[in-house]
Structure 1
Amino acid sequence: MEQNIKGKPGKSKGSGSENINKKEKKPAFKISIKILLIILFAVTALRMLFNLLPCYKIDMGGYRYWAGFLADPENSFKDFYRNTHCVYGPFYMYFLFITGKLGATEFFVKFWSVLSDIGGGILIYLIARKYNKEKLGLILGIIYAFNPAVIFNSSIWGQFDSFTATMLLTVVFLFNCKKTYWAVFAYGVAALTKPQTIAIVPMVVFLYFKDFPWKKYIEFKNSRDKAVLKSAVFDTFKKLAITVAGCMLIYAILVLPFYRETSFYFLKDMEVYGSTNSAANLAQNKEFKASGEESEKYIAKNASDMDENTAWSSEHLTHQWIYTDLGESTEINRIVLKWGWEYAKTYDILVSNDAVKWDLVYSEKVGKNTSNYSGKLDHIDLQPVKARYVKVECKSRPFPYGMFNIDKNTSTISKAAFKFTDFYFWLVHQYSTSLNDYPYATANGFNFWTIMDGQTTSDKEPYWFGLSALVWGYLLWGIISVLAIMLLAIKKRSAMALYYAGYILTSGIFVFATKMHERYLLPAIVFAMVTILWDKRMIIPTVFITICSLINHWYVYLKGNNDDPWVPQQDSIADSVAWVTLIVMIASIGYTIWLTVRQDKGKEQKRLAR
């Protein structure tokens, strides 16, 4: 049961929430720094032993390659994201750089995640000490460090989801300590690590704006005192300016070493197929020409080799083209375009027999309209036509780059605006394009969509009322977010409510959002463990989500290491775990509502006394 400490230190009164600002002067339990350091060393040493267990070979291969690439003096950080398929932000890559310098071994790939697990345990202890619960906090911190799901994720699998979990808990703890600027800056670093940090965005936004000078604006409304309004406006702009400047600086420091101006069009392969039964690519190893090339490394010829590690990258101009010479006039009826990170939002396909007079055979308004113009892979069906030359004319790029039509006559101001947008949109671009890697209702995450047979099923498929799983996921998680914000708004002085909001958001996004992997429930565990400080009943959901996360990890790990990385639909283990996870989620939603509407006993007694 929650405690509202208002009387003497160590005494509880009623069952209200712990005051978020409350500190006790005389803690009932005290442990020396020396003992804490001994415990810390022992826990760290024991945890490192688990690093010797076999990893998840698919992910570990990627991490070790990235570490080696970053540590190789012949490689540039600026080529990293273009030459590798990395779906994460740059912050963690600095740790992999150090790992690469240490030999890119499996042990040191896992090393950083284990340290973050220990950091999570330390944070639990610090939160507990803030509220005179040092003994319980020490116990919970150690238990978290040895949580089976946490150990499996970092020390066995070799992933770094617990790294993200610790960073998110740090953000909430800083808000708890009234360090609003530092909390937002810490969230900025977290966002530059993994896109899954979006889970607590509603909470961060609410807590940030909660401390704006709203009372001054209300006072001005009542008094019409311009001095009050001036003070409120000044405080508002000061806070916004410091926040924006700080976040932009953090972004620049972490991103700039990796940043290379985004390619305008990046085409890995252009394949041409005839109307016969032959499956051969008629354009393979044929001559290619283009309007321009970014560098000698990314020439037009690369679009002919059917090697996805090479590509044609255009000049930095909006209107660009590339064409192939098939050698002779041949009947064709299908084009395949394999794009990289950057693609043409709109393009035309033209054919010719002399490379002088071109006939339009495909565009947004001409042809069978089989392209969705969304990048990655376009299969385009044509009416059969005889031609020797096949040309793709790129006309525009996705938002926000499509805002700028860059040509040789573009003004310096427009070019500067594009470069500024390109730099500060770079991470969003990396994250948004990587989400298309697994466009499924669920990607091995045992959640609500597993029960709905959404495993490896496109999240664009309609479910109820014609809405896709993607839309339903946003709606359901949106409801969770509203409940979390209501809890924070009504129980604004409750420390329990603060950390519980983190739990419900991180677990809610795993259960209801699409594209979830098996690991994404992990951050909910650390938030759930913190709430045990105030309500021992939270042990129950903590145990259940730990078990569910552990089984989810273990089952996918087992299959993946046997070269079978995807769990089939209607799998009995997956469905069983998904049902348990969903039931815990429903119970947690119920608890959220109860926690929001309940009256603290102290307040209720005061109300009845009036």
Structure 2
Amino acid sequence: MRAKSNPTNFSNKEPQQNNGKRQNNNTQQHNGKQPQMNKSFGNTSNKYAPVLTVYFVLFLILFIIMYRLFINKKLKISHINKKLSIALLLCIGVFIRISLSTVMEGYSGDMMLFNNWASSAAKDFAHFYSSANSSDYPPLYIYVLFLIGKLTSISGLSSYYSILLKLPSIIADIGTAYLIYRLAKKYISVESGLLLSVFYIFNPAVFIDSTLWGQVDSFFALLIVLSVFLICEGKTVFSAVLFTCAVLMKPQGIIFLPVLLFEIIRRRNIGLFIKCLISAIATAVVVILPFSSGQNILWIFKLYAKTISEYPYASINGFNFYSLIGANYEQSSNTFFIFSYGTWGIIAITAITLLSLYIYIKNKNKAFAFAAALVQIAGVFTFSTGMHERYLFPALVLSILSYVYLKDKRFFTLCIGYSITIYANIYYVLFGNSGVMNSNSHSILSDGISFLNIILLIYLIKILIDITKKNKLLNLERIE
């Protein structure tokens, strides 16, 4: 989701209202022609792009070396104060992100739109969706923007609105890193927790989205991670609450809902299903009700329908199968080999979900919840339609936590792979001077990253099938 406004330099003034219509920088249509991409994001931000890429390459090289030394027991960190170390790492992570936020104000269209929504929510929260400047975002994140709007209305804080808009995602980055530390400490070792936290905190594939772009995918990813974590802890009803919150923040939350259903199916408990359903409905009512004054009873469904219908394309700058075959911004209703792109997308979602269910049920273990969630997002991003460049973002933390729970070192290869593809895809759109991006546009980078995402998905499936076969053999040995 993105605004159709040209990159601009920000002032402390409230941005233009744009007649209440949400627009998209990369999906503008001009007299039926293909959508066009702005030729630059802005000189202020572009000059830092090469430095960021150099840092990313050095980061990956250094971390791979550290990881190899660590698993070969040539790198020991047993003599340091663990609690002090994680606290210091988290503080450095916050400091770096705040500092970068002052250097780059973010993707101007999105930042202007978030600022506008925050101001509108702070002025008239209850009538936010019925106002002329209504949002096409679902309601949950509007609560956060409401708080930011109230803070920016304070005279001393008004000039820091850019940092305040990014702060929830920055906090989510740090919260996710700390959760990684705690889980890795519990299931592997303290040293592994520190190492994996470092990987997440200082990974440019993470902060390019939250800190440089200014998007909210980190906040969304944290909701997903906490939802799946609660499944692993056996707290399925509470997981249903957070999954509902994720869907109420972004429609993409629906991609992960099957994981909750897998656990309910695994436990074969109709009472649990009813409890989860009631909890989900109650959560939805609580979140939606404050915005419902004077609205049609079906307003929330119309909002989701409108949001989904805004992007009727095979791919929207998402480097996946459709981008690889030249279908970026191709209408999803167009035919590709018998069926439309949209139909192929539905077939892909169905196949991916059935595969995830098979792996989850076959292993009979809730520890596979993170891996199932990873299959869902990686598979849907790679082979479903309507994918933006940022939608793969949760795959990075899900691959890390799949490694933690299943202890298969091949997941770390996926961590590296998804760091590369997520970073490259976001970088290409955020900093790229690519001119026109349409159904015929190709580049070595876009095709290479698209192909790599397909390879990573195949590799992920192979890993899980291998683990499933191994567990089956172990079970047979126990029976014998």
When the two structures are superposed, what TM-score results if normalisation uses the length of structure 2? Answer: 0.76
Question: Which runs of no fewer than 5 residues in structure 2 stay unpaired?
Answer: 1-77, 153-157
Report whether the alignment pairs 1:70 with 2:121.
yes
Alpha-carbon distance in 1 for matches of 2:79, 2:376: 32
Q: Relative to structure 2, which stretch is displaced further, 98-107 or 75-84?
A: 75-84
- Look up the equivalent residue of 2:349 and give its one-letter code: W
Count of residues in Structure 1 that have an aligned counterpart in Structure 2: 392
- Aligned residues of 2:236 and 2:260 also touching (Cα < 8 A): no
Q: Per the alignment, do residues 43 and 484 of structure 1 end up closer, same or farther by CA in structure 2, a change over 3 Å counting?
A: same
Instruction: Give the corresponding residue for 1:88.
Output: 137
Instruction: Give the corresponding residue for 2:208.
Output: 152
Report whether the alignment pairs 1:586 with 2:438.
no
Alpha-carbon distance, 1:606 to partner: 3.5
Alpha-carbon distance in 2 for matches of 1:52, 1:601: 55
Instruction: Give the corresponding residue for 2:359.
Output: 487
Q: What is the CA RMSD across the aligned residues, in angstroms? A: 2.5
Report whether the alignment pairs 1:168 with 2:224.
yes
Instruction: Give the corresponding residue for 1:61.
Output: 112
What is the CA deviation profile of residues 432-491 of structure 1, one whole-angstrom value per residue up to 9, with x for unaligned ones?
A: 2111111000011111111222111110111122x1111111111221111111111111
What is the CA deviation profile of residues 110-166 of structure 1, one whole-angstrom value per residue up to 9, with x for unaligned ones?
A: 110011111111221222233243321222123112221111000000101121111
Alpha-carbon distance, 1:563 to partner: 10
Q: Relative to structure 2, which stretch is displaced further, 588-597 or 187-196?
A: 588-597
Q: 2:373 aligns with which of 502, 507, 516?
A: 502
Q: 2:90 aligns with which of 28, 40, 53?
A: 40
Report whether the alignment pairs 1:101 with 2:150.
yes
What is the CA deviation profile of residues 563-605 of structure 1, one whole-angstrom value per residue up to 9, with x for unaligned ones?
A: 9684563321322221121122222223333333334664454
**Which SS does the other structure have where 1:598 is aligned?**
helix
- Look up the equivalent residue of 1:514 and give its one-letter code: T
Alpha-carbon distance, 1:50 to partner: 2.2
- Look up the equivalent residue of 1:543 and give its one-letter code: I
Report whether the alignment pairs 1:524 with 2:386.
no
Instruction: Give the corresponding residue for 2:317.
Output: 444
Report whether the alignment pairs 1:79 with 2:135.
no
Instruction: Give the corresponding residue for 1:477.
Output: 349
- The structure richer in helix per residue is 2
**Which SS does the other structure have where 2:388 is aligned?**
coil
**Which SS does the other structure have where 2:316 is aligned?**
coil
Instruction: Give the corresponding residue for 2:174.
Output: 118
- The structure richer in strand per residue is 1
Q: 2:284 aligns with which of 251, 256, 259?
A: 251
What is the CA deviation profile of residues 328-377 of structure 1, one whole-angstrom value per residue up to 9, with x for unaligned ones?
A: xxxxxxxxxxxxxxxxxxxxxxxxxxxxxxxxxxxxxxxxxxxxxxxxxx
Report whether the alignment pairs 1:514 with 2:385.
yes
Q: 1:543 aligns with which of 391, 416, 421?
A: 416
- Look up the equivalent residue of 1:58 and give its one-letter code: G
What is the CA deviation profile of residues 386-418 of structure 1, one whole-angstrom value per residue up to 9, with x for unaligned ones?
A: xxxxxxxxxxxxxxxxxxxxxxxxxxxxxxxxx
Instruction: Give the corresponding residue for 1:577.
Output: 449
Instruction: Give the corresponding residue for 2:102.
Output: 52
What is the CA deviation profile of residues 21-41 of structure 1, one whole-angstrom value per residue up to 9, with x for unaligned ones?
A: xxxxxxx99966455434333
Alpha-carbon distance in 1 for matches of 2:436, 2:267: 46
- Look up the equivalent residue of 2:143 and give its one-letter code: Y
- Aligned residues of 2:121 and 2:128 also touching (Cα < 8 A): no
**Which SS does the other structure have where 1:78 is aligned?**
coil
Alpha-carbon distance, 1:201 to partner: 1.6
Question: Which runs of no fewer than 5 residues in structure 1 stay unpaired?
Answer: 1-27, 214-235, 264-421
**Which SS does the other structure have where 1:569 is aligned?**
coil
Instruction: Tell which has more relative contact order, 1 or 2 (C-alpha 8 A, sep 6+).
Output: 2
Alpha-carbon distance, 1:81 to partner: 5.2
1:377-392 correspondence to structure 2 within 5 Å: none
1:312-461 correspondence to structure 2 within 5 Å: 422=297, 425-461=298-334
Alpha-carbon distance in 2 for matches of 1:538, 1:428: 38
Q: Per the alignment, do residues 193 and 29 of structure 1 end up closer, same or farther by CA in structure 2, a change over 3 Å counting?
A: farther
Alpha-carbon distance in 1 for matches of 2:116, 2:83: 40
Alpha-carbon distance, 1:240 to partner: 4.6
Instruction: Give the corresponding residue for 2:42.
Output: none
Instruction: Give the corresponding residue for 1:194.
Output: 250
- Look up the equivalent residue of 2:385 and give its one-letter code: T
Identity across aligned pairs (percent)? Answer: 28
Q: Per the alignment, do residues 95 and 32 of structure 1 end up closer, same or farther by CA in structure 2, a change over 3 Å counting?
A: same
When the two structures are superposed, what TM-score results if normalisation uses the length of structure 1? Answer: 0.60
**Which SS does the other structure have where 1:500 is aligned?**
helix
> Structure 1 stretches (4+) deviating beyond 4 angstroms?
28-35, 562-568
